[in-house]
Amino acid sequence: MSPVLQALARAFAALSEPRILGLLLLPPLGSLMLWTVLGWLFWDSWTGMVRGALGLTTVAGWLADWHALWVVDYTAVLAVLAAILPAMLATALLVTEIVAMPVIVAWVTQRHYPGLRRSGEDGLAASLVNALGAVAVFAVVWVLTLPLWLTGIGAFLAPLLNSAWLNQRMFRHDAVSGHATRAEMATLFARSRGELFVLGVLLSLLLYVPLFNLAVPVLSGLAFTHFCLARLERLRTGA
């Protein structure tokens, strides 16, 4: 079995563990509650802002002449939703990183890599910098690729690949930062760049599967922890 599929298989198997099961719904529910409250408070402001910006365009003038300004209203709603959905995903991943990853890494280490030496040099600050930087890039790419949504296949591929990049960029660091030195992390990430991205793609595909998508944040944490700790062990043994 390939290392990517082995990491996925071990991640799925861990979902039955009580300690992991208790974390499973925390990230998606926390994200949903936060953005539901924000939407309730600011929905009119957000849609009004987008509607106002669209109203200044030449297209809006044509629509007014044709008595079709309802198109602007619907477009404003869709634009706000297109912004909220990635924000909900990023929030769920951040909750996973802050709350769940310490538990996940400790559990995986205890069960599968008890002899792996802890030589980590990065702390919480480095983890937060990595996470916030990844989310910032993710948000910019999401906005820049929105026109691709009009091409049909782009509406599927653009968010999939962007989410895959975010997944691997956030979780690979926290998976090994407590065990690996910065030099070891740089070597590990460089040698496994393709496999890390493939793992991110496979996990992001689950976002399109009802019910499974709720488990993606914690499942991602488990899968990347298994993959990265296994690779770190091989790196230290010279395999």
Q: Above 70 in pLDDT, residue 61?
A: no
Which of 42-51, 88-97, 117-126 holds the top average pLDDT? 88-97
pTM (2 d.p.): 0.88
The predicted pLDDT at position 126 comes to 86
The mean pLDDT value for 163-191 works out to: 94
Burial per residue of 93-104, b for 16 or more beta-carbon CB atoms within 10 angstroms, e otherwise: bbbbbeebbeeb
Q: Above 80 in pLDDT, residue 124?
A: no
Instruction: Kindly indicate the confidence band of residue 72, based on its pLDDT and cuts at 50, 70 and 90.
Output: low
Q: Above 60 in pLDDT, residue 172?
A: yes
Tell me the C-alpha distance between 135 and 165, whole Å. 10
Question: Which range (56-70, 76-90, 105-119) has the least confidence?
Answer: 56-70
Question: Which range (12-21, 67-76, 94-103, 174-183) has the least confidence?
Answer: 67-76
* 196: number of Cβ within 10 Å: 25
The predicted pLDDT at position 147 comes to 81
The mean pLDDT value for 174-186 works out to: 93
Give me the helix-helix angle, 182-191 and 154-176, nearest 10°. 150
Q: Above 70 in pLDDT, residue 68?
A: no
The predicted pLDDT at position 122 comes to 73
Provide the 8-state DSSP code for 206: G
Q: Above 60 in pLDDT, residue 60?
A: no
Structure tokens at 141: 């790419």
Burial of 141 (0-12, 13-18, 19+ CB in 10 A): middle
Q: Above 70 in pLDDT, residue 65?
A: no
Percent share of the chain, pLDDT over 90: 51
The residues near 118 (Cβ < 8 Å, ≥ 6 apart) are: 178, 179
Burial of 70 (0-12, 13-18, 19+ CB in 10 A): exposed
Within a 13 Å sphere around the CA of 230, how many CA atoms are in the beta-carbon half? 20
CB 108 within 8 A of CB 227: no
Q: What is the pLDDT of residues 93-118, one digit of tens each?
A: 999 988 899 999 999 999 999 989 99
Which of 14-28, 136-150, 179-193 holds the top average pLDDT? 179-193
Backbone region of residue 181 per phi and psi (left: phi > 0; alpha: psi in -120 to 50; beta: other values):
beta
CB 50 within 8 A of CB 80: yes
